[in-house]
Amino acid sequence: MTACGNRFLERLAGILAADPELPFVYLRQNDAYLTVTRSELAGRMGAHAAAWRAAGVGEGDVVFIILRHGADAMPAFLAAMWIGAVPSFLPFPNPRQDLALYREVHATVLRRTGAKALMAEPDLAAEFLNLLGPQATAVLAPPAVGCTALLPPPAAIAEEGAALLQHSSGTTGLKKGVVLSYRAVLAQLDAYAPTLGLDPRSCVASWLPLYHDMGLIACFLLPSVSGVPIVALDPFEWALKPQLLLEAIGRFRATHVWMPNFAFAHLTRGVPRNERYDLSSVAMLIGSSETNRGHTQDRFLARFGSHGLRAGTLQTSYGMAETVFAVSQSQRGVEPRRIGIRIENACVFPGDTELLSNGKPLAGVEIKVLHGGRMRSEERIVGELCVASPFNFSGYLGSGGTPDRFHRTGDIGFLDEGEVFVLGRIKDLIIVNGRNIYAHDVEAAVNDVPGIHPGRCIALGVASDRTGSEEIVVIGETSAPSPDLVAAVNRAVLAHFGMPCAAVELVPPGWLVKTTSGKVSRERNHQKYLIRAAHADATP
């Protein structure tokens, strides 16, 4: 391949050209695995590049991809980068999702970003044709199955230029387009890879969706330019049958896996106990994306330790779309550090609340805590975590201006012995009679109650005229609602926090609104609860 002056594209070109018959991805489809080699990926990228260009897509144009899990998603994305366009994945609609809400959110995203073209499944093309602005040239279907073409030389795109868009999860509002330059993506990969110990024997297994930063960066782009094969599962299929991940690890000797905290609990509770798996190949199973919890990892290890996992295999990380992905990573082969704390006047003292470290910042990362209106470097001071790094984003699409050197994350936490500890989101704080309670802690307690679907509950702080403060309201999805389950949820919250819930609402599966990254949307469910409560009050 001809040198183009862009190190990311040159690295990708080198991987595709070296050992072209090596597997690029093992793709699970229709109860079987399709092996896509590097040469096959290059041919498919060539077909997609031709399709993008035929639609009038050129350098710097934003394009969106809404495809089912399958053989086209990865080559469509890489081909857009290859010709100098700026691609972004959007989620394929979940059959259980509120389709009206899906259309509303994504219509706004498409129009606001000024997308040039969209690639979607044929049955969605008509749905989205009218959602694009006047600057758009086409809604494309993927090239025909088996269609390949010669991959042209990569475009000569400056590394300061936009490489891709990631979209923040939208847990508290409309999704924002995070602009990431090639330089930022390269800096992230170069800082993160050394902490992982990737080598020619490595293999990444993932069920994570590609529109999520962890799925896109850690489980797709990082292995793509590192020469590491990927095992890719359908997220919807995994949710229904979580043991698929464990089967894939054993079959392909996967070494690296990333997933959020709830997935550890889902596997612990959802995998049949009479089944055995060989997990001895795993070097790092990394929790990220949401608050990592020691007891969740303990239960996972107790459940699957006899399947070949070791204590030092379970790791932690902290990251976000605005920093490409990882900000910190725990040490490979060593159990993440745990501390017991209590918090008084924003200072951390020894106490009974256990927290799990997210490791030390990656090389080049500086973290400060915003407290009392100023940035502070002292340890064991609680405040908003602020991050400066060589891989911070270039800004939100359409917002104008340049981001501050330190990105305000919206996460509450502190530093201790150089390691990052996260308490939760600022907007997840519930203040009950002057006492600070983190919604994630309430949700963790409720998730342990048998009958509540794992990862499918939310704790809200609802203002009360009666008390003049906020009260705790828990909404949990269940297939078996009963007064006993309401009582069990209340007992769990009372035992952990010394106060009962003002209300426990048991709702059917699918009731809670989730963001496209799979997180429960606090803002939209708060609105939904208030509407439900108002309707109940108005009913005779």
**460-468 contacts, C-beta under 8 A, 24 or more apart:** 460/430, 460/522, 460/525, 460/526, 460/529, 461/429, 461/430, 461/431, 461/432, 462/502, 462/503, 462/526, 462/529, 462/530, 464/502, 467/433
Quick check: 173 pLDDT over 60?
no
Most confident of the ranges 28-32, 139-143, 281-285, 452-456? 281-285
The residue among 288 and 124 whose pLDDT is bigger is 288
Q: How confident is the model over 281-323, as pLDDT tens digits?
A: 999 999 998 788 888 899 999 999 999 998 899 999 999 999 9
Least confident of 167-176, 213-222, 429-438, 482-491: 167-176
Q: Name the amino acid, one letter, at 174.
A: L
The answer on 53 and 105 residing in a single domain is yes
- Whole-number pLDDT of residue 535: 62
- Whole-number pLDDT of residue 505: 95
Quick check: 337 pLDDT over 90?
yes
Quick check: 127 pLDDT over 90?
no
In a domain, residue 263? The reply is yes
The last residue of one of the domains, among 261, 296, 316, is 316
Residue 124: give the domain boundaries.
1-10+36-157
From CA 385, how far away is CA 407, in angstroms rounded?
Answer: 8
The last residue of one of the domains, among 270, 293, 316, is 316
Quick check: 365 pLDDT over 70?
yes
Q: Which among 44, 23, 74 is positioned nearest to 251, based on CA atoms?
A: 23
Q: Label residue 174 left, alpha or beta by phi (over 0 means left) and psi (-120 to 50 means alpha).
A: beta
Q: How confident is the model over 197-240, as pLDDT tens digits?
A: 999 899 999 999 999 899 999 999 999 999 999 999 999 999 89
Q: How confident is the model over 376-428, as pLDDT tens digits?
A: 999 999 999 999 999 999 999 887 778 999 999 989 999 999 999 998 878 78
The residue among 168 and 285 whose pLDDT is bigger is 285
Percent residues over pLDDT 90 in the chain? 66
- Within its chain, how far is the Cα of 111 from the centroid? 24
Quick check: 144 pLDDT over 70?
yes
Percent residues over pLDDT 70 in the chain? 94
Quick check: 103 pLDDT over 80?
no
From CA 305, how far away is CA 343, in angstroms rounded?
Answer: 34
From CA 507, how far away is CA 460, in angstroms rounded?
Answer: 15
The answer on 133 and 212 residing in a single domain is no
Question: Pairing state of beta strands 326-329 and 314-319?
Answer: antiparallel
Mean pLDDT in residue range 263-287: 94
Secondary structure E strands in 212-337: 230-232, 256-259, 284-287, 314-319, 326-329
The answer on 219 and 153 residing in a single domain is no
The answer on 254 and 152 residing in a single domain is no
- Whole-number pLDDT of residue 528: 87
- Whole-number pLDDT of residue 203: 98
Confidence of residue 2 (pLDDT cuts 50, 70, 90): low
In the sheet that holds 419-425, the strands lie side by side as: 374-376, 366-371, 383-388, 407-416, 419-425
For residue 203, give the 3-state DSSP assignment: coil
The answer on 218 and 71 residing in a single domain is no
Secondary structure E strands in 67-188: 86-89, 117-120, 138-140, 162-167, 177-181
The last residue of one of the domains, among 157, 187, 208, is 157
Quick check: 130 pLDDT over 80?
no
Least confident of 46-50, 141-145, 250-254, 501-505: 141-145
Q: Whole-prediction pTM value?
A: 0.85
In a domain, residue 403? The reply is no
Bridge partners of 231, per DSSP, are 26, 205
Q: How confident is the model over 38-71, as pLDDT tens digits?
A: 999 999 999 999 999 999 999 999 999 999 999 9
**341-347 contacts, C-beta under 8 A, 24 or more apart:** 343/382, 343/436, 346/371, 346/372, 346/381, 346/382, 346/383, 347/380, 347/381, 347/382
Confidence of residue 518 (pLDDT cuts 50, 70, 90): low
Query: What CATH number is associated with residue 310?
Result: 3.40.50.980
The answer on 122 and 234 residing in a single domain is no
The answer on 238 and 150 residing in a single domain is no
From CA 221, how far away is CA 391, in angstroms rounded?
Answer: 15
- Whole-number pLDDT of residue 97: 63
Quick check: 538 pLDDT over 70?
no
Quick check: 169 pLDDT over 70?
no
Sign, CA dihedral 370-371-375-379, equals negative
The answer on 128 and 262 residing in a single domain is no
For residue 436, give the 3-state DSSP assignment: strand
Mean pLDDT in residue range 428-437: 78
- Domain count across the chain: 3
In the sheet that holds 86-89, the strands lie side by side as: 86-89, 62-66, 117-120, 138-140
In a domain, residue 418? The reply is no
First to last CA, the chain: 74
The answer on 293 and 218 residing in a single domain is yes
In a domain, residue 395? The reply is no
**179: which DSSP letter?**
E
- Whole-number pLDDT of residue 136: 79
From CA 528, how far away is CA 540, in angstroms rounded?
Answer: 20
In a domain, residue 387? The reply is no
In a domain, residue 189? The reply is no
Mean pLDDT in residue range 77-88: 97
Q: Give the CA radius of gyration of the chain.
A: 23
499-528 in b/e form (b: 16+ CB < 10 A) is eebbbbbbbeeebbbbbbbbbbbbebbbeb
In a domain, residue 137? The reply is yes
Query: What CATH number is associated with residue 460?
Result: 3.30.300.30
The residue among 210 and 465 whose pLDDT is bigger is 210
**398: which DSSP letter?**
T
- Whole-number pLDDT of residue 468: 66
**346: which DSSP letter?**
T
The answer on 141 and 1 residing in a single domain is yes
- Whole-number pLDDT of residue 171: 38
The answer on 149 and 216 residing in a single domain is no
Confidence of residue 180 (pLDDT cuts 50, 70, 90): very high
